[in-house]
Every structure is written in structure tokens, then in C-alpha cells.
Structure 1
Amino acid sequence: MPNSPVQDRVKAVAVMLSTLAVIALNIVAATGRLNGVTPAEISAKYPTVITPAGWAFSIWSSIYLGLLAFSIFQMLPSRIASFSELRVPYLVSCLLNAVWILLWHKFYIGLDAVVLLALVIVLLSISAKLRRSDSFVGAILSKGVFGLYAGWVTVASLVNLVVYIVSTGLQMSVTDWDLIGIPVLAIAIAASIFVRIRLRNFVYPLPIAWAAAGIGANQSGNTPIVVAAAITCIGCLIISGTVVTELKSSTT
């Protein structure tokens, strides 16, 4: 049953408020005012062979600015109805994002990995619901923003799984850790191919390429991981770049 105009407006406002709340929570977390520790400090406590360099995490600024722009865009009178079916899943994604941050800062690494995986699924479901936009701006603020968000969270969920293994205290050689890290990067490429083909989202592979560059930089002395990260980065850029052929075919 379709929502009434009033319900759509209420949910549109809820989307904006939820976005602001998530951004505020992340600012609090990033400044160390949540349990007295920052996300980076927790990450440093559990180093992995696929944790990106610190600079790679600056992508969160772009993601949250994009979500803020989307939240404003979906409140426009001309867009109220068109985003109707996306708002509830988006609100769920905001809740999962907040729970993820809270669990991470309480060192519930295993539960955190489960929540992150759930967030990936919700974000991909949102991407699947997005229809072709009638404008370039609309495409950037919908498919673009959620492609960026989903792609980065996919990487975060994969890293978190390895972080969980590290948190258990399992002792392995560098070679053994590489044998875990390399297949994880292969999964990231496979996810990029799937989303690019099935959901027709060419932005999704870009944050994965960015993360792979960060992983390579952070593992400069680990040749197998550097090579795997380079292949992942280049592969994802090529996957994303296939949009050029799609645009050419649509204009001929």
C-alpha cells in the first residue's frame, strides 16, 4: 500500500534527522569522546594485512557529505514521492551504522562484524531499489552516494572479519595471514563485478579501489599483499570504467 503524502513527508524528515544523528555520533566517536578511545586507536589494536592506511579512512567525510546531500535532496517537493520506498531501509541503515560504532567502541568485535554485514545487505538492497534518475544530479545523489557508501562498507565488513580473527588471539605466520588476506581481496573484486553488472552501479567499485590503494600503502613490505592490492585496485577501476562503453552505446 503506497504511503500518503503526509507519511512521505514525515519519513523524509526522519531521514534527515537520522542522517544528522549518525554524523553527530561519528564526530563524537572520532574525537575520542565515546568510551575514551577513537576508531583509529581500536583499529591499531588489531592490525591486519588488509587494514588500509589511515589516510584512506578520510573517505568517510565524502560519504557523510553525500548522505547529507541525499537527505536534503529527498526532501524536495518534487522528490518526496520518488524516494518513498527507500526511506525505511535508509532509516534501518542509520540504526545499523550507529550500532556498529557503539559496538566497535565497546570492543564487541564479533557482533560488530555481524552488524556491518547486515549494513552491507541493507545498502545493497537500497541500491537495488534505485531507479534510473531523470537528471545527472539525481543520479549522483542517489546511485552515486549509495554506491560510494556500500562499496566502502563492503571493504569495512571484510576487514572487520579479519579483525575478529586477530582479536581471538590466533597466532599465525605472515604467510598464513596473507593466505587469508588475498582471498578477501578477491571477494572484494567479485563483489564489484556483481554490483556493477546486476545493480548497474559503477561507483561501487571506486571506494574498493581506494581501499586497495590504502592496503597496498600500509603493507609496503609485504609483496604478496601489495600485488593483490594493486590487482584489486586496477581491477575495480576497470570495472567502474566500463560505464564509458555503456554511455557510448546509449548515445548510438
Structure 2
Amino acid sequence: MMSSAAASRSDITRQIVVISAVVFMIIAAMFGAGVLGGTPVQDLQGGALSANATVLAPASSAFSIWSLIYLFMIAYTVWQALPSQRDSERQRRAGYPIALTAVLNGAWLLAAQFTTLILTVITIVLLLAALGATIRILVRTPPRTIAETLFTDVTVGLHLGWVTLATVANTTAWLTAEVAPSSWAEVADAWGIAVLVVVVLIAGATAIATGGRLAPALASAWGLLWIGVGRFSGEPESTPVAIAAWVAAAIVVLVPLVMWATGRRGELALRR
């Protein structure tokens, strides 16, 4: 058993690490937006990450969700730094994992700026894995207050839901730009729809594993809606992919709603 003094020092260290990680993420985000001299993400990697690079790239308006995610991350950072959260057992379990997701978030932006597409894919897959592990911790240690739900669970849930979709878009961008043959374009619609089916399965599994949490579903659905908009009104145009994306968005949101309506949230959540 740690002494109370040692525990207090450990808790303060955790709070400082979370603050540092989120500050790093925000600075990297500002650099990635071109505010601090960096190149905007849509112009990086020869345009492979732009809104019209592939059939699974969301329209540019979709990326406004990052502002919401960053806002929640900042709010969480301030809240977890309060003295009342210092010795929270839930924060002891989730604080460092959340800090890791912030670092990986910032690392993706730096990878996009200075390295290669394949490294961005590796980084975002690591981020997705870290977010999945973090939400598992939160499911196993349920929130006791509305504040815990809002600042911790909703924050991680939105991040997870969006990164699930972003991982698909990032991987598709890499495959299209560097791996797939030129004949890929001829079957892009079919592949796009197939991948959207996989996204629905992943999002559905996430809803079941998290006991019907809405935040991941809403973030994923947001991205799917804007994939539909991008393919219906932008380039590369694809009405089949647009319709499939909109249907996928509806299904992704319906799964947790059905779980709530049928009272099956708790029994389908991850076992503690």
C-alpha cells in the first residue's frame, strides 16, 4: 500500500501528465491547421488526405467535429485537474490512457506533416486501439456522476467514434495513393460500399461492447453523413456510395437507441 503522501504525489503527477499531453495535442492541432506555420492537412501528402481524394473521404465540413472533440478534451483536462478528482479511482485508471490518446492524436498530425502516408495509418490505428482500450476501462468502472459521464465518457466516446471513421478514410487514402493499381477506380464504388458495411459492423460492435453508449455512434454517424454529402455533391461523385453512407449512418445510431429502448444496455456491455 502506498502512503497517502506518495499516493497524492502520484495523483498530481497523473494530472500534470494529462495536462501536458492535451497541450501537446492542441499545439499540434494548431500547427496542422496552418495557424503556427504548418501546412493544412488537406494539402499534405500530395492531397491524399483531402475531402475529394477517395470515395470514402468525408466532405470538408465533417472535420469541424475536431473542434468539439478538442473542446471536450480541454474541459476534461481542466476537470480532472481539480482537487476533487485527484484521488478518484476512476481517474487513476483512465487518466494515463486518455493522455496517451491525446499524444497519439498530436502525433498523427505531426506524422502527416513530416513523414509518410503509411506512418499516418500506423499512428491512427494505434490511436484507435488506445481509444478502444480506454473506453473498455470506462465501461468496467461506470461513472457515478453526471460530471464523470460528460467530461470523461462523452469525451472519449466522441473521440473513438470519429477516429473509427477517420481510420477507414486514412487507410483508404493510403491504399488509393500508394498501393492500389489504376484499375482500382473501376471498382471503387463496390469497395467503398463493402468498407461501409465493415464500418457498420465495427460501430455496432462498439455499441454492444459499451452498453449502448451514444457518443461513439453519433460521431461515427456524423462522418458517414458527410461521406454521403461528399459523394453526392462533390468529387469523386458516387451516388451508390452516398446512399450506402447515409443508410450506414442511420443504422449506426439505431443500434444503441434500440438497446436503450429494449433495456438491453447493461446485459450486453463488456463484462467487468
What is the TM-score with the length of structure 1 in the denominator? 0.90
* Counterpart pick for 1:197 among 208, 216, 240: 208
Q: In structure 2, what residue type is equivalent to 1:213?
A: L
CA change 1:151–1:248 in 2 (3 A) is closer
Q: Give the Å deviation of 1:242.
A: 3.1
**What's the CA shift string for 1:166-216, capped at 9, x where partnerless?**
221631354411222112211211111111111222211111110111101
Distance in 2 (alpha carbons) for counterparts of 1:206 and 1:44: 31
| 8 Å CA contact retained: 1:202, 1:239 | no
Partner SS for 1:217: helix
**What's the CA shift string for 1:40-77, capped at 9, x where partnerless?**
22378120001000000000000000011111121222
Confirm or deny that 1:152 pairs with 2:154.
no
Confirm or deny that 1:142 pairs with 2:148.
no
Confirm or deny that 1:109 pairs with 2:125.
no
Q: In structure 2, what residue type is equivalent to 1:122?
A: A
Match of 1:42 in 2: 44
RMSD: 2.3
Range moving further from structure 2, 24-33 or 143-152:
24-33
Partner SS for 2:121: helix
Kindly, what percent of the aligned residue pairs are identical?
22
Q: Which runs of 5+ in 1 are unaligned?
A: none
| 8 Å CA contact retained: 2:121, 2:174 | yes
| 8 Å CA contact retained: 2:225, 2:245 | yes
Structural mapping, 1:92-131, within 5 Å: 92-130=100-138, 131=141
Distance in 1 (alpha carbons) for counterparts of 2:126 and 2:264: 36
How many corresponding residue pairs? Answer: 249
Partner SS for 2:84: coil
* Counterpart pick for 2:195 among 172, 184, 191: 184
Q: Give the Å deviation of 1:236.
A: 1.3
Match of 1:18 in 2: 21
Distance in 2 (alpha carbons) for counterparts of 1:72 and 1:207: 23
Range moving further from structure 2, 41-50 or 222-231:
41-50
CA change 1:242–1:44 in 2 (3 A) is farther
CA change 1:101–1:248 in 2 (3 A) is closer
Q: Which runs of 5+ in 2 are unaligned?
A: 267-272
Match of 2:71 in 1: 65
Match of 2:31 in 1: 28
Distance in 1 (alpha carbons) for counterparts of 2:100 and 2:252: 28
Which 4+ runs in 1 deviate beyond 3 A?
Answer: 246-250
Q: In structure 1, what residue type is equivalent to 2:219?
A: P
